[in-house]
Amino acid sequence: MNKLIAAILTLFTVASLSAQRPSDQKQAETLQQQQYLRTRDVSTPAEEEQRRQAEWRQSDLVRKANKFALLWAQFTAEANASHTFDVKLAKKLEKAFSDLEKAQGWPGKQ
């Protein structure tokens, strides 16, 4: 997180300084800055694994939330159109919400 903040601050500093230079020099500095940001990430394998796990947890939570949202939209559309209650769809919706609550990253869950 600290690396991200430092990178953002560096970009803002470079952007304000480069506004006073000719465009060719700005482009060269931008390329140098991008190269620096790509090469300076020297994280350990353990940090890299933690990052990958965090990305996986986030994508899993998003996938489960999207599944719930799609089922909810289908459930409400069907209920509004036919004025009936689809028990099978309600059970799928309940399971999707239960899966979403069990996902790592759900509020109140570590």
Q: Mean of the per-residue pLDDT values for the chain?
A: 80
Quote the CA–CA distance of 63 and 104 in Å, as a whole number: 12
End-to-end CA distance of the chain: 19
Cβ neighbourhood burial of 59 (10 Å; 0-12, 13-18, 19+): exposed
Check residue 18 and give its pLDDT: 47
**This prediction's pTM:** 0.56
Give me the mean pLDDT over the 38-42 stretch. 65
- The string of pLDDT tens digits covering residues 41-87 is 667 888 888 888 988 999 999 999 999 999 999 999 999 999 888 89
Residue 66: CA count within 13 A, CB half-sphere: 6
**How many Å separate Cα 58 from the centre of its chain?**
6
